[in-house]
Amino acid sequence: MKKLYCLLAITIALASCKKDFNKPAVVAAKTDTGKEKVNSTLSFSGYTWTIKDSGTGTAGPGPNYWKGANSFIDANGYLHLRLSKNTTTNQWQCAEVTSTTNFGYGTYQWQVEGPVSTLDKNIVLGFFNYSGVDGYDEMDIEYAKWGVATNPFVGYTVYPAQGASGNFHNATSFTTSGTYTTNRFKRTSTSVVFKAINGFYDDDTNLAYTTTCSSPAYSISTLSMPVHMNLWLFQGTAPTSDSTVEIIVHSFKFTAL
């Protein structure tokens, strides 16, 4: 996700299609420091993606240091997102890519290799579309515990269209089987349906979890927006394991309605 968070809230009151959750509240827009490098691009799953690099400074979310080399394509055409420590500066460096294409109503799907259920409590892995305005126009899948080891390991969020109110968030855990998961949401004018699937499938085989935001329909964004994928540290706090983490995204697929 993109935002600068403050203290972790144990419960947050949400309107309309709300569910209780332990995700921190968004209190301010992200800020950048230092000199930011000119972002390069990569090609993945038939789309062009801008690679985030904060240069010598930090940028949100977090804030964190972002290294362009931590987002790369391997010989199989898979996207790697790496979180690593710079041994010279002792700074942890994160990864993010953003599509140059905007996407609207349809099905968004990511096939992901990595230990999503056991990520460090300070690590956030996000797959989402987002307009760039904090707190609005966003559908979000985040594997994150927000600094609390006992929290559920994944959250599904819908932020409303600008001018509307009513956030949806459902934090949960589901039973995983191995390190391959298919992560999906279908966005329409009246609902957003999230699904987690064990293994790589284009249907609902091995469906592990699903949740739906459908009320009020007017709170769902009508905008076409870029897709983001990122791996970062909550509040810029180092992982307790002090170890490099790498997630491999085998594919991103969008099917328009």
Sorted by sequence, the CB contacts under 8 Å of residue 105 that are 6+ apart come out as: 187, 188, 189, 256, 257
CA–CA gap between residue 206 and residue 221 (Å, rounded): 29
Bridge partners (DSSP) of residue 71 are 81
pLDDT for res 165: 86
- Considering only 23-37, 102-116, 118-132, 188-202, which range has the smallest mean pLDDT? 23-37
Domain tally, the chain: 1
pLDDT tens digits, one per residue of 159-214: 999 988 889 999 999 999 999 999 999 999 999 999 999 999 999 999 999 999 99
Helix (H) or strand (E) holding 79: strand 79-86
Sorted by sequence, the CB contacts under 8 Å of residue 144 that are 6+ apart come out as: 23, 119, 123, 124, 125, 126, 153, 154, 155, 234
CA–CA gap between residue 124 and residue 116 (Å, rounded): 10
Sorted by sequence, the CB contacts under 8 Å of residue 128 that are 6+ apart come out as: 1, 138, 139, 140, 141, 142, 157, 227, 228
Q: What is the DSSP letter of 218?
A: G
- The CATH number of the domain where 121 resides is what? 2.60.120.200
CB-based burial, 85-101: b 16+ in 10 Å, e otherwise: eeeeeebbbbbbbbbee
| Percentage of residues in the chain having pLDDT higher than 70 | 85
Stretch 220-235: mean pLDDT, rounded? 98
CA–CA gap between residue 165 and residue 154 (Å, rounded): 23
Residue 81 contacts residue 233 (beta carbons within 8 Å): no
Coil/strand/helix, residue 247: strand
Segments forming the whole domain that contains residue 188 = 4-256
**pLDDT surpasses 70 at 24:** no
Listed residue (76, 94, 130) closest to 251, CA to CA: 76
Residue 245 contacts residue 86 (beta carbons within 8 Å): no
Q: What is the DSSP letter of 153?
A: S
CA–CA gap between residue 221 and residue 230 (Å, rounded): 21
Whole-Å CA distances, 225 to 8, 95, 102, 104, 147: 28, 20, 4, 6, 29
Omega within 30 of 0 (cis) for the link into 226: no
Q: Is the pTM of this model over 0.85?
A: yes
